[in-house]
Amino acid sequence: MSTLAERIAIARSLLFVPGDRPDRFDKAAASGADLVIVDLEDAVAAPDKDRARDNAADWLAHGNHAIVRINPPGTTWAETDLRMAAEHGSPVMVPKAEDPVALAGLAARVAGRCALVPLIETALGLEHAHAVCATPGVIRAAFGNIDLAAQLGVAPDDHTALTFARSRLVLASAAAGIAPPVDGVTTAVRDAEALRTDTAHARRLGFTGKLCVHPAQPGLVAEGFAPSAEELRWARAVLDAGDSVTTVDGQMVDKPVLERARRTLDRAREPYPTA
């Protein structure tokens, strides 16, 4: 696995920047986001697609790194987008990911040069979520709450309406053996409390990262997904006690609990205690 693919697997904040706004690329990279996504799809009008791709290619050619969100497979621009990303070894976010056969074909065409991040944002994509997540080359899935909500006729910020969809993607990712998924966007870009609430909800469901649409969001998102001081104290206590201890703080400790403690320290980028 490449270093960039490893970064995708553990990223908490992934910030979109429109491909037709090259003046914002460096600002996005300096925002504190774990990863930048140069968007050639929804953020770019049809007449500007080719120019946006050229902007991305030029920026990547100068040694910068980003995920590239290509246009959906089957559109006029998709194959050229894909070739450009492959030339630079850039990971590819695949919108409207719902057909594992088509996704496998895309993976074959990049021949291992690009890690894949399928954006699951349709009802059919959720029906096929496990097969999509299990496609060779897929590193991590992302949830497209805006498009899915439009298809279902619900509000994109309605936690109740989209809980099943989110949980299904978390389960599909775990079943496929890939990293936990990335949650969708909070469109209220100036509402810090809404962002905190959305992040906390996603974390409770098993997400470990979130898509961002404004440079003010990555810091709060990273904070929301970071283990709390109490969680870290508990994880250290469990692992310090060793495999033979059966209770810590009055709670049973067995193999799954030990694994949860290790994952907690992994999320904090902390080493495990040594016995």
User: Which residues participate in the annotated binding site?
Assistant: 69, 121, 147
Report how far residue 186's alpha carbon sits from residue 184's, in angstroms, rounded to the nearest whole number: 7
Long-range pairs for 174-177 at CB < 8 Å and ≥24 separation? Answer: 174/206, 175/130, 175/133, 175/134, 176/130, 176/133, 176/134, 176/138, 177/134
32 sits in the region (left: phi over 0; alpha: psi -120 to 50; else beta) called: left
- Cα angle 60, 139, 17 (rounded to 5 degrees) comes to 40
For the annotated binding site for Mg(2+), the residues are 121, 147
**Residue 238: alpha-carbon gap to chain centroid:** 29
Contact of 204 with 183, CB cutoff 8 Å: no
Q: Write out the binding residues for substrate.
A: 69, 121
CA distance 70 to 49: 10
Neighbouring C-beta atoms of residue 30, cutoff 10 Å: 10
Among candidate residues 131, 3, 9, 107, the one with its CA nearest the CA of residue 65: 3
Answer yes or no: are the C-beta atoms of 112 and 83 closer than 8 Å.
no
